[in-house]
């Protein structure tokens, strides 16, 4: 950690403070506490094992960091609720560690999950997808991914703000929910954090937890990871269970990690992946679940063949220039680059409206099933029609003018039926995304994976295919870029991060994690620029350990 920050000091102006405080930490306590802005899960586990600090210390430190920036200071609005049981759980996990040792790499590690991922009501937190309509609703059980985190010894520290209903209510700015308000980006004041896993990404970016979970239907992990300088894995649909996750579409939804490093992503994915009788899409995955941390090979790109579909690279010249420079690095790591390697169906996939049909029709069925499965809903909403009426009745909290009034996707979905056009659209998406799309491209050019700037047309093909993508930090917009006007957030401006994406076929995560790790280790782009100073929480473990 210190080594990396020292390297940074020579590369970037304005980070001296962080380096100094890190060194001061080490000197005053005579043990090196990891800097919580960047601390990896492995570093935290090591400190816990050595007794340098406890999980109770970690929870207190992260709570203090959330307090500093969530509603105060830069008011990033990343977190909707913190877990009132977290300190108690941390104490129990500390005691268990003393008696029996750690359960595994996540024992006693605090994780924040998106507010559409159910957590036990008895623990004290809501699961609402950001909407007042689900406030106080009683979920039947933890989402399977939350239960798996807990079984691995992780502490669910809190629930992350998000684009409400994972951005399926209507045309609403990213990062807004009725309950959480407008979340913003820690790299530029009042900038778009992207979404829909906005709060998860903001929290990971500045160290409000050791790691986070997000969910993606089309871009909701990749895009906020891209814009908040993070590693995000959008797993194959069916690798991670969606049971207990407020849905958009059973055909496209997937849950994955949003974290600071590929190693952290591998550690979390290993725990949350697996078959689940409550989500039959997971039954198609190969068994056993791999230990994704075994894919962390710095030489994984040697001999790999990667193709670049240039017509999907997007149009931002800064991003394309940085991407091109990284292509040279990837070549120097021993990969063969096929450039261009266009999708055989590029034009069709671009203009297809099939995804809209699938999502619109799925949402009504899937969200109605989710609500029907709740044990109690104090607001009385029973289905999508009630949700629409709830928003009208509570317009002051949910349909706030001038930016947040739309619920057109809700209305279109309520009006939909699973007719012949729906089944035709589902079949067309499979053909467009899988057969003639990602698989077609991999086959035509004999590739291991597809390489793109994450902000290009990257999430789209993977969304309709249900296929995996991993994004890794690539660079930052330059200081001389003129920021766009705030509407209500700034969509692009100086310091806004961007990423590079590795896309593959179904269940190719192990291979993609290897490529991403090799790239990350050769570049270490994440620490080349930090969040804006007010968005960097000051509380560190040295302020907590041994204090009362
Ligand atoms: C849900 O949110 C309400 C209002 O913020 C809060 O009073 C309550 O403790 C939260 N938790 C549960 C489980 O309802
Ligand atoms: C899952 O179960 C549903 C309902 O029984 C069924 O319609 C669907 O085809 C199944 N899906 C998979 C992927 O097995
Ligand atoms: C990026 O690389 C491609 C392929 O070599 C080239 O056509 C393009 O001009 C480059 N763009 C930039 C901005 O460097
Ligand atoms: C669905 O995709 C097929 C294949 O490209 C296309 O012919 C059809 O027009 C698409 N449907 C819509 C609604 O865009
Ligand atoms: C509702 O569905 C009908 C029939 O498909 C369509 O004509 C109408 O435009 C739809 N209304 C909305 C609000 O989507
Ligand atoms: C920003 O700075 C770069 C590098 O110095 C330069 O190439 C570019 O033209 C500048 N852009 C603007 C908009 O001034
Ligand atoms: C943990 C936290 O700070 N939650 C806040 C999220 O935002 C809402 C709306 O401002 C507050 O009511 C919560 O307290």
pLDDT tens per residue, range 320-358: 999 999 999 999 999 999 999 999 999 999 999 999 999
Residue 28 has pLDDT above 80, yes or no: no
Closest residue (by CA) to atom 7 of ligand 2? 280
Q: How far is CA 469 from CA 35, 114, 163, 339, 466, in A?
A: 29, 19, 21, 19, 10
Closest residue (by CA) to atom 1 of ligand 7? 81
Residues 6+ apart with CB under 8 A from 423: none
Residues 6+ apart with CB under 8 A from 421: 357
How far apart are the C-alpha atoms of 408 and 238, rounded to whole Å?
29
Structure confidence at residue 22 (pLDDT): 43
Structure confidence at residue 3 (pLDDT): 36
Residue 7 has pLDDT above 90, yes or no: no
Closest residue (by CA) to atom 8 of ligand 5? 415
Q: What percent of the chain has pLDDT over 70?
A: 95
CB of residue 184 inside a 6 A radius of ligand 4: no
> What mean pLDDT comes out for the span 212-234?
98
Q: Which two tokens stand for residue 49?
A: 């094992």
Structure confidence at residue 25 (pLDDT): 47
Task: Give the pLDDT band (50/70/90) at residue 547.
Answer: confident
Structure confidence at residue 18 (pLDDT): 38
Residue 272 has pLDDT above 80, yes or no: yes
Structure confidence at residue 138 (pLDDT): 98
Structure confidence at residue 468 (pLDDT): 99
Reduced to 3 states (helix: H, G, I; strand: E, B; else coil), residue 208 is coil
How far apart are the C-alpha atoms of 71 and 180, rounded to whole Å?
10
Structure confidence at residue 23 (pLDDT): 40
Kindly give the distance from the C-alpha atom of residue 436 to the centroid of ligand 7, in angstroms, as a whole number: 46
CB of residue 315 inside a 6 A radius of ligand 6: no
Residue 20 has pLDDT above 90, yes or no: no
Which residue intervals of 16-160 are DSSP H helices? 16-29, 41-49, 55-69, 86-100, 144-151
Q: Could you check whether the bond before residue 196 is cis, i.e. omega within 30 degrees of 0? A: yes
Reduced to 3 states (helix: H, G, I; strand: E, B; else coil), residue 279 is strand
Other Cβ atoms closer than 10 A to 1: 17
How far apart are the C-alpha atoms of 513 and 509, rounded to whole Å?
6
358-375 pLDDT, tens digit per residue, is 999 999 999 999 999 999
Q: Which two tokens stand for residue 344?
A: 């055989």
496-507 pLDDT, tens digit per residue, is 999 999 999 999
Residue 21 has pLDDT above 50, yes or no: no
If you classify domain 41-533 with CATH, what class do you get? alpha beta
Structure confidence at residue 161 (pLDDT): 99
SS3 sequence, 517-539? HHHHHHHCCHHHCCCCHHHCCCC
Task: Give the pLDDT band (50/70/90) at residue 527.
Answer: very high
Structure confidence at residue 435 (pLDDT): 98
| CB 161, CB 80: distance < 8 Å | yes
> What mean pLDDT comes out for the span 40-51?
98
Is 22 catalytic? The answer is no
Question: CA 403, 404, 405, 410 torsion: positive or negative?
Answer: positive
Task: Give the pLDDT band (50/70/90) at residue 174.
Answer: very high
- The ligand 7 atom nearest the CA atom of 158: 1
Mean pLDDT, the chain, whole residue set: 95
| Residue of 468, 498, 37, 502 whose CA lies nearest to 237 | 468
How far apart are the C-alpha atoms of 455 and 134, rounded to whole Å?
32
> What mean pLDDT comes out for the span 78-99?
98
How far apart are the C-alpha atoms of 29 and 340, rounded to whole Å?
54
Task: Give the pLDDT band (50/70/90) at residue 31.
Answer: confident
Q: The pTM is what?
A: 0.94
Task: Give the pLDDT band (50/70/90) at residue 30.
Answer: confident
Structure confidence at residue 238 (pLDDT): 98
Is 220 catalytic? The answer is yes
Q: Which two tokens stand for residue 414?
A: 């309520």
- Catalytic residue (one of 54, 174, 177, 196): 196
Which residue intervals of 38-106 are DSSP H helices? 41-49, 55-69, 86-100
Structure confidence at residue 182 (pLDDT): 98
How far apart are the C-alpha atoms of 33 and 17, rounded to whole Å?
16
Is 352 catalytic? The answer is no
CB of residue 408 inside a 6 A radius of ligand 5: no
| CB 185, CB 240: distance < 8 Å | no
- Catalytic residue (one of 220, 241, 250, 508): 220
Give domain limits for the chain: 41-533
**Radius of gyration of the chain measured on its C-alpha atoms:** 22
Residue 29 has pLDDT above 90, yes or no: no
> What mean pLDDT comes out for the span 487-515?
98
> What mean pLDDT comes out for the span 45-59?
98
Between β-strands 181-182 and 176-177, what pairing exists: parallel, antiparallel or unpaired?
A: antiparallel
Q: Using CA atoms in the order 289, 292, 294, 300, what is the torsion angle rounded to 10 degrees?
A: 120
Residue 15 has pLDDT above 60, yes or no: no
Kindly give the distance from the C-alpha atom of residue 445 to the centroid of ligand 1, in angstroms, as a whole number: 53
Question: Which residue carries 């409550």 as its tokens?
Answer: 278
Counting every residue, how long is the chain?
A: 548
Q: Which two tokens stand for residue 276?
A: 């689940």
| CB 514, CB 297: distance < 8 Å | yes
Q: How far is CA 45 from CA 54, 104, 132, 210, in A?
A: 10, 9, 37, 10
| CB 518, CB 300: distance < 8 Å | yes
Q: Using CA atoms in the order 155, 161, 165, 168, what is the torsion angle rounded to 10 degrees?
A: -130
Structure confidence at residue 155 (pLDDT): 98
How far apart are the C-alpha atoms of 326 and 89, rounded to whole Å?
43
């Amino acid at each position: 950690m210190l080594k990396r920050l020292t390297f940074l000091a020579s590369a970037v102006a304005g980070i001296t403070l962080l380096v100094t405080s890190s060194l001061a930490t080490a000197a005053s306590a005579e043990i090196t506490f990891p800097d919580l802005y960047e601390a990896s899960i492995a570093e935290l586990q090591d400190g816990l094992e050595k007794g340098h600090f406890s999980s109770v210390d970690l929870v207190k430190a992260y709570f203090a960091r959330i307090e500093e920036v969530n509603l105060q200071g830069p008011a990033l609005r990343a977190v909707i609720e913190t877990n009132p049981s977290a300190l108690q759980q941390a104490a129990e996990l500390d005691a268990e560690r003393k008696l029996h040792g750690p359960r595994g790499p996540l024992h006693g590690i605090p994780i924040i999950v998106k507010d559409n991922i159910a957590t036990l009501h008895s623990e004290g937190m809501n699961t609402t997808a950001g909407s007042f309509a689900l406030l106080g609703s009683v979920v039947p059980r933890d989402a399977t991914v939350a239960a798996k985190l807990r079984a691995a010894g992780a502490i669910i520290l809190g629930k992350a703000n998000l684009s409400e209903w994972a951005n399926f209510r209507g045309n609403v700015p990213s990062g807004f929910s009725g309950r959480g308000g407008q979340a913003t980006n820690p790299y530029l004041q009042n900038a778009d954090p992207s979404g829909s896993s906005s709060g998860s990404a903001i929290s990971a970016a500045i160290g409000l937890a050791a790691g986070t979970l997000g969910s993606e239907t089309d871009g909701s992990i990749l895009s906020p990871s891209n814009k908040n300088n993070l590693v995000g894995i959008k797993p194959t649909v069916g690798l991670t269970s969606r049971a207990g996750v407020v849905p958009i579409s059973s055909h496209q939804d997937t849950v994955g990690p949003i974290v600071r490093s590929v190693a952290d992503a591998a550690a979390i994915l290993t725990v949350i992946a697996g078959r689940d009788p409550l989500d039959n899409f997971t039954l198609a995955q190969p068994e056993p679940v791999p230990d994704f941390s075994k894919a962390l090979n710095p030489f994984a790109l040697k001999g790999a063949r990667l193709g670049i579909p240039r017509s999907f690279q997007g149009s931002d010249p800064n991003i394309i220039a940085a991407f091109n420079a990284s292509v040279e690095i990837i070549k120097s790591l021993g990969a063969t680059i096929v450039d261009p390697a266009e999708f055989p169906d590029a034009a069709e996939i671009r203009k297809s409206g099939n995804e809209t049909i699938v999502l619109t029709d799925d949402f009504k069925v899937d969200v109605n099933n989710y609500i029907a499965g709740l044990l109690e809903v104090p607001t009385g909403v029973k289905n999508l029609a009630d949700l629409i009426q709830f928003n009208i009745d509570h317009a002051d909290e949910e349909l706030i003018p001038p930016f947040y009034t739309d619920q057109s996707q809700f209305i279109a979905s309520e009006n939909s039926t699973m007719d012949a056009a729906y089944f035709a659209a589902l079949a067309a998406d499979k053909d467009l995304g899988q057969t003639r799309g990602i698989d077609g491209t991999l086959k035509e050019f004999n590739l291991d994976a597809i390489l793109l700037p994450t902000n290009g047309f990257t999430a789209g093909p993977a969304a309709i295919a249900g296929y995996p993508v991993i994004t890794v930090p690539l660079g930052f917009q330059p200081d001389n870029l003129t920021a766009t006007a705030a509407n209500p957030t700034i969509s692009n401006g100086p310091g806004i991060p961007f990423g590079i994406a590795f896309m593959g076929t179904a269940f190719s995560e192990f291979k993609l994690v290897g490529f991403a790790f090799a790239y990350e280790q050769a570049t270490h782009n994440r620490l080349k620029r930090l969040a804006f100073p007010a968005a960097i929480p000051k509380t560190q473990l040295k302020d907590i350990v041994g204090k009362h």
